[in-house]
């Protein structure tokens, strides 16, 4: 009897575990697990003529999530037809037999304004609703907004975090005489010009609250520290000691760290609130640039030419110790750290051009995640430690591309006709 009870309990635990696995995904794993997702034919009231657009937009957004496999209707019994969008209307058995893990339903109906859309995601195995959202739309233009919001909620459900749809990216657009900073989300939503200057903009970086952007500004033959405030839309320009201001970045505490040539050589300094040098962090006769902090501020990666060629190093704050990260290649630059401080993503120059690599600081393993053609440069990891952005001229023009630490995709970030350089994501503090 006891054996029987133990068996039932174990079986219960096992099945529960299996069902949990079907709903979440370990994005830090090898990246081989896929969730099969099916989008049922939308239920759309007669006055709306948007069914194709609804499904295609949803597919575009969800197509950015490499752990999802979108199942075509032909692969599902009875083409996956359902009686209605709610739980009680669905016969889950045919989806289960067709190996569908998640079923999405759409219901667009008349509302108090333009219309109301209900979006639901069901766990087929457990026959349960996992994400359900309803949006009261003022106009048709709000439809994509509702769809991306739902996709964000779904991503949150699967991975525990939504960097892709909720955290903005800043990038540089270069013209002959002027350069500008733009904001965009990784799915191409919300392209917006933030500022434009008659000079050069380099290395923009958000603060950890997503309120300010710091960058190098070169105007009238001089380097300035540019500081832009999102709320006031004001640009401050600060002259700093030395001639060159390179790769400024915010610390998690909101201070600015930057490479300056105060001693005739680019070294890394911490600035005070009044833009004076507060502390020297890294000093060497060689070039030291591109500092980047983990979310807890305990680790900082940087690029140094102290060994003759540019290589990646990590500075361990507590021990005040520097550790070499890259050993391969002769030109490793633009390193960023995952928020947990485990992964270093950087660019390495190979014979065929720059490529993006991921280095695991714990295991020491290194993996190439981009393969060109052209140059893949300036990688930036999302705050989920999973998605990676980089700029590439693979199409002949520099554009932004989205990949993951496993090298999925890459997917073009639609910046319309604009060329795009130096992408930087917000790393919001939790």
Partner 1 sequence: MKIKVLVVVGLFLGVLTVGCAKKKVVVPATTGDTSVSEQTQGSEIKGLKELQEKRARELQELKEKELKEKQAKEASKEEALKIIGERIFFDFDSYELKPEARQVLQKKAEVLKAHPDLMLIIEGHCDERGTEEYNLALGEKRARAAYEFLILLGVEANRMQIVSYGEEYPLDPGHNETAWAKNRRDEFKIVKK
C-beta closer to partner 1: residue 85 or 266: 266
By CB under 8 A, is residue 247 in contact with partner 1? Answer: yes
Identified binder of partner 1 from the candidate list 52, 231, 232, 264, rule CB under 8 A? 264
Find out whether 294 and 314 touch, Cβ atoms under 8 Å. Answer: no
Contacts of partner 1 in 16-55 (CB under 8 A): none
Q: How far is the CB of 239 from partner 1 (least distance, A)?
A: 13
User: Which residues, at least 6 apart from 247, have a Cβ–Cβ distance to it below 8 Å?
Assistant: 202, 203, 216, 258, 259, 289, 290, 291
By CB under 8 A, is residue 259 in contact with partner 1? Answer: yes
* Distance spanning both ends of the chain, measured CA to CA: 49
Stretch that binds partner 1, among 81-89, 200-208, 320-328, 411-419 (CB under 8 A): 200-208
Find out whether 371 and 355 touch, Cβ atoms under 8 Å. Answer: yes
What whole-number distance in Å separates Cα of residue 90 and Cα of residue 325? 53
C-beta closer to partner 1: residue 154 or 356: 356
C-beta closer to partner 1: residue 96 or 218: 218
Q: Tokens at residue 162, please?
A: 């939504």
Q: How far is the CB of 294 from partner 1 (least distance, A)?
A: 19
C-beta closer to partner 1: residue 24 or 309: 309
C-beta closer to partner 1: residue 48 or 293: 293
User: Which residues, at least 6 apart from 330, have a Cβ–Cβ distance to it below 8 Å?
Assistant: 309, 349
Contacts of partner 1 in 327-346 (CB under 8 A): 331, 333-334
Q: How far is the CB of 331 from partner 1 (least distance, A)?
A: 7
C-beta closer to partner 1: residue 35 or 202: 202
What whole-number distance in Å separates Cα of residue 70 and Cα of residue 46? 27
Q: Shortest CA distance to 427 belongs to which of 329, 345, 313?
A: 345
Identified binder of partner 1 from the candidate list 195, 265, 270, 329, rule CB under 8 A? 265
By CB under 8 A, is residue 303 in contact with partner 1? Answer: yes
What x-and-dash track marks residues 216-245 binding partner 1 by CB under 8 A? x-x--xxx-------------------xx-
Q: Where are the alpha helices (DSSP H) in 179-233?
A: none
Contacts of partner 1 in 358-417 (CB under 8 A): 377-378
Which SS3 state, helix, strand or coil, does residue 58 take? helix
C-beta closer to partner 1: residue 163 or 247: 247
What is the size of the binding site for partner 1 (CB under 8 A)?
34
By CB under 8 A, is residue 289 in contact with partner 1? Answer: yes
Q: Tokens at residue 35, please?
A: 């969730």
C-beta closer to partner 1: residue 4 or 220: 220
Find out whether 106 and 117 touch, Cβ atoms under 8 Å. Answer: yes
Q: Shortest CA distance to 123 belongs to which of 99, 98, 102, 145?
A: 102
C-beta closer to partner 1: residue 266 or 410: 266
Q: How far is the CB of 408 from partner 1 (least distance, A)?
A: 23
Identified binder of partner 1 from the candidate list 66, 210, 266, 410, rule CB under 8 A? 266
Identified binder of partner 1 from the candidate list 310, 339, 385, 423, rule CB under 8 A? 310
Rounded to 5 degrees, what are φ and ψ at 15? -65, -40
Tokens 């005040």 label which residue? 320
Rounded to 5 degrees, what are φ and ψ at 106? -125, 135
- How many CB atoms within 10 Å of residue 284? 15
What whole-number distance in Å separates Cα of residue 388 and Cα of residue 400? 10
Contact residues for partner 1, defined by CB under 8 A: 200, 202-203, 216, 218, 221-223, 243-244, 246-247, 259, 261, 264-266, 287, 289-290, 303, 305, 309-310, 331, 333-334, 347, 349, 354, 377-378, 421-422
């Amino acid at each position: 009897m006891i054996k029987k009870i133990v068996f039932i309990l174990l079986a219960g635990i096992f099945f529960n575990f299996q069902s949990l696995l079907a709903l979440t995904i370990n994005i830090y794993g090898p990246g081989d697990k896929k969730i099969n997702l099916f989008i049922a034919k939308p239920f759309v009231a007669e006055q709306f003529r948007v069914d194709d657009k609804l499904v295609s937009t949803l597919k575009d957004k969800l197509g950015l999530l490499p752990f999802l496999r979108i199942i075509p209707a032909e692969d599902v019994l009875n083409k996956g037809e359902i009686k209605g969008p709610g739980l009680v209307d669905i016969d889950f058995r045919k989806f289960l037999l067709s190996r569908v893990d998640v079923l999405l339903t759409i219901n667009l109906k008349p509302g108090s304004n333009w219309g109301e859309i209900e979006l639901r995601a069901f766990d087929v195995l457990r026959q349960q609703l996992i994400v359900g959202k309803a949006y009261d739309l003022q106009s048709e233009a709000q439809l994509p907004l509702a769809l991306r919001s739902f996709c964000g909620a779904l991503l949150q459900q699967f991975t525990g975090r939504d960097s892709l749809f909720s955290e903005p990216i800043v990038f540089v657009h270069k013209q002959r005489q002027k350069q500008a900073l733009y904001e965009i989300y990784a799915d191409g939503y919300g392209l917006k010009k933030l500022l434009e200057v008659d000079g050069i903009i380099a290395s923009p970086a958000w603060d950890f609250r997503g309120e300010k952007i710091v960058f190098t500004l070169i105007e009238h033959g001089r380097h300035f520290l540019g500081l832009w405030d999102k709320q006031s839309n004001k640009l401050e320009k600060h002259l700093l000691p030395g001639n060159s201001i390179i790769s400024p970045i915010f610390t998690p505490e909101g201070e600015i760290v930057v490479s300056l040539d105060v001693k005739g050589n680019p070294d890394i300094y911490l600035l005070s609130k009044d833009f004076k040098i507060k502390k020297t962090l890294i000093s060497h006769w060689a070039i030291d640039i591109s500092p980047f902090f983990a979310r807890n501020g305990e680790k900082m990666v940087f690029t140094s030419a102290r060994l003759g060629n540019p290589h990646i190093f990590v500075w361990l704050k507590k021990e005040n110790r520097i550790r070499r990260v890259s050993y391969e290649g002769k030109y490793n630059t633009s390193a960023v750290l995952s928020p947990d401080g485990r992964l270093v993503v950087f660019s390495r120059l190979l014979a065929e051009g720059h490529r993006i690599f991921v280095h695991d600081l714990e295991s020491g393993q290194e993996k190439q995640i981009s393969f060109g053609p052209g140059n893949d440069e300036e990688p930036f990891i999302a705050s989920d430690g999973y998605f990676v952005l980089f700029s590439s001229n693979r199409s002949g023009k520099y554009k932004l591309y989205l990949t993951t630490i496993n090298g999925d995709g890459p997917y073009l970030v639609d910046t319309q006709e604009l060329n795009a350089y130096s992408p930087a994501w917000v790393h919001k503090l939790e």
